[in-house]
Chains A and B, each alone.
Chain A
C-alpha cells in the first residue's frame, strides 16, 4: 500500500580505526586551540596590567627611594628598575618576571608580592569556595523547583529571596548578620578567620584553615575556623544563590517546554524523573558556565565582605595596597584574579565538552 523504496536510511558508516584516530586528532587540535587562545588572553591581561603600571600617575621610583632622596640616588634607582629601557624591553622583562612568579616587592608590607598573595589568596579562595558551595547547593534545587512549580509558593518565595539578594547592600546585610548572630545570639565566631587561641596554631599547608586543620586533625581549630567563616560565606552564598537560582529557573523553564519532555511524559515517567533525569542533564550544561562565573566574581574579591568581617583576603589586600599607591601589589593581585578567571573559563569549557555530547 505504501511503496517502501522511497529512500535510503542514511546510515552512518561504522567508525574504522583511521576514523577514530582522525577524531582523536581533531579533539586534540581543538583542545590545543583552546589552550592557545587562553595563552593569548593571559598575554593580553599582562599587557593591560603592564600598561596600567606605566600610565598610573604614581612614581614607582619615588615610592622606593622616598621623597628625601638626592637626584643621584633617584637616578640610580631609576636605572636599577630598568625604567630607562624602551617600553618593549621593559614589557619583556615584566613578562619573564611574572612568569617566574616575581611580581616585585610590595612597598606597604615590605615583602615580595608573591609571598603576600600566597598568604591572602587562600583566605579568599576558602571563603569563595564555601560561598559558592552554599549558593549552588541551595540555589540550583530552588531554581529547579521554582520552574517545575511555576507560579507556586516556592516560586514566589524564590523570587523574593532572589530580589532581596540582588538589591540588598552587602555591607548592611553583613553588619546586621554580625549584630544578630555574633553580637546577640553568639552562634558564630566574630570577625577574622580564627579565634585568638587558635591563631597560628594550625600548621600551614594549603593556607585554607578549614583544610589545614583537617589535615592536622585538629577538631577544635576546625570548629573555630568554621564558626568564623560560616557567616561571611553564607552571605556570599546568598548573593550567588540569588543569581544561580534565577538562572537555573529560566534554563529549566526553557527545557521543560521542549518536546523531549513530552516524550518523557508519554513514556510514563514521573514528573520527578522528567525533571531530574531528562531536563536537569540538559540545563547542567549552561549552568556550569553560570556557576564558574559566579565563583570567579567571588574570587575577585568580595571587598566589602572582607572588610566587614576583617577577612585577610585578596580583595582587602588589593584595596589596601591600591590606597597606598603600592602598584606592584595591586598589579600582582590583578594578575592573580585575571588568571583565576581564565582558569575557570578553561575549566567550564572542558566540562562543557564532557557534559554535552554535541560538542564532540
Chain B
C-alpha cells in the first residue's frame, strides 16, 4: 500500500435546522492512498457531503468538524478560505454529475479550461492554450482546436464530462473526487468516460474518490469500497470482496440488484433497520486490497 494522501478521522458535517441540528455526515473515517476508492450509498447518505467537506465547500451555516483531516500530512480542516482556495483545483479537484450544469454556459470550453490551469500555474495565455489542447487530447477529444471554441451547449453529455475531466485535471491535482460522474450520462458513453478518467488517474498516480450509488459500477471500477448509510460508513471492503459483504445493508443492496445469470421472480426489498444508524462502526483501515 502506498502512503496515504488523505487521512480523514471522525469527519462530521452538521447543519442547523428548525428541529435542531441535522447531521449529514456523522463521524466518517478513512484513508486514501494512490488508489480508486468507491463511496457507495443511497441518496442522503452523506456521500456527496463528505466530498464537499474535504474540499472545504460546505458553506455556512453548515459546519465541518473532524479529529483529523490531513492532505499529505498537512491539516486542511477549516483552513482560512484564502489558503483553501490554493489547494482547491491544484491539489484536490472534483468532477460533478452533469456537465450541462457544471460548465458555465456563456464561456467557451477553452476559456474555462485555461482559467483552471492559469489560476494555479500562471503563465501566458499561449502556454495555457497549449496545456488545454493537451488536456483535451488526453481525454480523447478529436479536433481539440475546434472544441476549444465551442460553448458547453454545443457539445454532447459524454463530451462535456470529458471536458470537465480535462479542466479539473489541468492543474495536476493529487486527488480527484468524482461525484456521480456518469449518472447523468447516456449508458453508451459511461464506460468510455470512466475508462478515460481511470487511465488519467492511474497514469498520474492520483487518488480517486468515486462517489456513486451504482454498486456494480463501483465494484468493477474501484479498488476499495466504502458503504455509507445515514451519514456513516457501515462497511469497508475490497471491491473484489463485495459479494462477501457482512453488513446487512450491503447485503440488502446487493440482493436488490437484478442478475442476468440468476433471475428471480421478485427482487427482495431492502428492509432498513433503525439499529444501522447508530450501530458500532465497522471500519477496517488496513487498506489492504
Contacts and interface: CB of A to CB of B under 8 A. Distances in A.
Say whether chain A's binding surface is mostly helix, strand, loop, or mixed: loop
B106 to A, nearest CB: 5
Contact of B192 (A6, A14, A258, A262): A6
Interface in A1-58: 1-12, 14-15
A9 B192 contact: yes
Interface stretch (B125-133, B150-158, B229-237): B150-158
A4 to B, nearest CB: 5
B103 A263 contact: yes
Nearest to A266: B94
Interface residues of B, number: 56
Given A7-B186, A11-B142, A266-B94, A2 B195 contact: yes
A281 B89 contact: no
Contacts, number: 127
Contacts of A8: 188-189
A357 interface: yes
Contacts of B18: none
Interface stretch (A64-72, A267-275, A290-298, A316-324): A267-275
A268 B92 CA distance: 10
Interface in B56-93: 57, 81, 85-90, 93
A268 B188 contact: no
Contact of A266 (B98, B162, B168, B194): B168
B96 A262 contact: yes
Interface residues on A, range: 35 or more
Nearest to A282: B106
B258 interface: no
Nearest to B56: A265
B154 A12 contact: yes
B116 interface: yes
Contacts of B159: 9-11
B281 to A, nearest CB: 29
A288 to B, nearest CB: 13
A358 B106 CA distance: 8
A6 B188 contact: yes
Interface in B231-285: none
A33 B56 CA distance: 50
B221 A278 contact: no
Given A12-B154, A281-B107, A6 B191 contact: yes
Contacts of A259: 96-98, 101-102
Interface of A: 1-12, 14-15, 258-260, 262-271, 278, 281-282, 285, 355-358
10 contacts: A7-B186, A9-B140, A9-B192, A11-B142, A11-B159, A262-B96, A263-B102, A266-B96, A281-B106, A357-B153
